[in-house]
């Protein structure tokens, strides 16, 4: 920390403390992202992150719900939970200092992004924050943050040997379309669901494209206010009941709440490397507009998927098929 003022050193320390405190579990992260957005409504990515993080929590709790407990072995469920949790934790660990530094910069009306290297943020995202400060292009910043977060988790989660072998190459993951882990849902208080999914979750470009499509759905002029209403009105517990409570038709799915189900995970820090020093940023990531090939209204799809899962469980029980 050479050549830093006492004030800058204190700022770094405060941001580190705040990030550690909020990076406790999926609930604290989801709430932190949304609270941040309410204070900084120009940073749309933070609202997107809170909604995607809600999905992460629902996916975690699904693993201990009435269907997946019957289909999946405890070991498989634990590996999938740890994969969700690790990716969730890594993204927050990387991005929350960026968000706090931007908020602080707006308070003193002076950019402080020269401090980002002290939080081991990529050179790519440092340049993008500086650019946003100068130009104010919200859409570009949202896209840049999506690019950065997916690159941040690519090597330590997606390509990490243990996760790669036990999760991403497993039979269960190849049937992820059945389990819709790769679908992100945006609920409304009217009981409707919107969202998008990705085939080929292991592909960096496909995950970035999904993020861009989700940002487009979230900021749709007709839909933004109903998504915001849901997020503001509905505490995040990790249970699917968070949004199924608004349905006009009940489902037979039962999922527990996260903090009654999973322990707090102590994460090991990883060997940091600046992904942007070793990987070229594809022009398509930054400049190609997201296009929806399928409907974004997923209420009917969701009920159909729930029925399929119940059928899958019934077949497995009738045929005495072993858990995965």
Residue 18 placed within a domain: yes
- Provide the pLDDT for residue 164: 52
Q: Is residue 195 a contact partner of residue 156, using CB atoms and an 8 Å limit?
A: no
Residue 323 placed within a domain: no
Residue 85 placed within a domain: yes
Residue 1 placed within a domain: no
- 196 three-state secondary structure: strand
Residue 35 placed within a domain: yes
Residue 324 placed within a domain: no
Residue 306 placed within a domain: yes
- What is the domain count for the chain? 1
Q: Quick one: pLDDT band at residue 227, thresholds 50, 70, 90?
A: very high
Pull the structure tokens for residue 213: 């499509």
Q: Give the distance between the most distant pair of CA atoms in the chain.
A: 70
Using alpha carbons, list the distances in angstroms from residue 310 to 151, 253, 304, 314. Answer: 36, 9, 10, 6
C-alpha closest to that of 249 among 211, 193, 290: 193
Q: Domain range spanning residue 52?
A: 6-318
Residue 96 placed within a domain: yes
Segment 247-296, tens digit of pLDDT = 998 877 789 999 999 999 999 877 788 999 989 999 999 988 888 888 99
Rounded to two decimals, the pTM is 0.92
């Amino acid at each position: 920390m050479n050549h830093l003022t006492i004030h800058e050193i204190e700022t770094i320390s405060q941001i580190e403390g705040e990030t550690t405190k909020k990076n406790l579990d999926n609930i604290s992260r989801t709430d932190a992202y949304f609270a941040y957005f309410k204070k900084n409504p120009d940073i749309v990515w933070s609202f997107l992150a809170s909604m995607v993080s809600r999905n992460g929590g629902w996916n975690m709790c699904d693993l201990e719900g009435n269907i997946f407990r019957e289909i999946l072995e405890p070991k498989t469920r634990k590996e999938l939970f740890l994969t969700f949790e690790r990716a969730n934790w890594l993204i927050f660990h990387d991005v929350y200092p960026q968000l706090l530094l931007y908020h602080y910069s707006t308070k003193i009306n002076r950019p402080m992004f020269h401090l980002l290297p002290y939080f081991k943020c990529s050179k790519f995202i440092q340049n993008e924050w500086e650019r946003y400060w100068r130009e104010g292009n919200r859409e570009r910043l949202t896209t840049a943050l999506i690019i950065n977060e997916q690159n941040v988790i690519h090597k330590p989660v997606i390509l990490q040997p243990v996760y790669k072998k036990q999760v991403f190459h497993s039979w269960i993951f190849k049937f992820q379309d059945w389990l819709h882990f790769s679908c992100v849902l945006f609920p409304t208080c009217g009981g409707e669901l919107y969202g998008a999914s990705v085939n080929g979750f292991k592909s960096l470009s496909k995950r970035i494209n999904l993020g861009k499509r989700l940002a487009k759905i979230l900021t749709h002029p007709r839909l933004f206010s109903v998504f915001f209403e849901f997020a503001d009105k509905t505490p995040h517990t990790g249970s699917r009941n968070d949004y199924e409570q608004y349905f006009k038709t009940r489902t037979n799915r039962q999922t527990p709440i996260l903090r009654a189900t999973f322990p707090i995970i102590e994460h090991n820090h990883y060997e940091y490397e600046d992904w942007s020093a070793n990987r070229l940023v594809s022009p398509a990531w930054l400049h190609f507009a997201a296009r929806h090939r399928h409907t974004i209204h997923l209420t009917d799809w969701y009920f159909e998927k729930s029925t399929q899962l119940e059928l899958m469980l019934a077949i497995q029980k009738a045929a005495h098929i072993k858990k995965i």
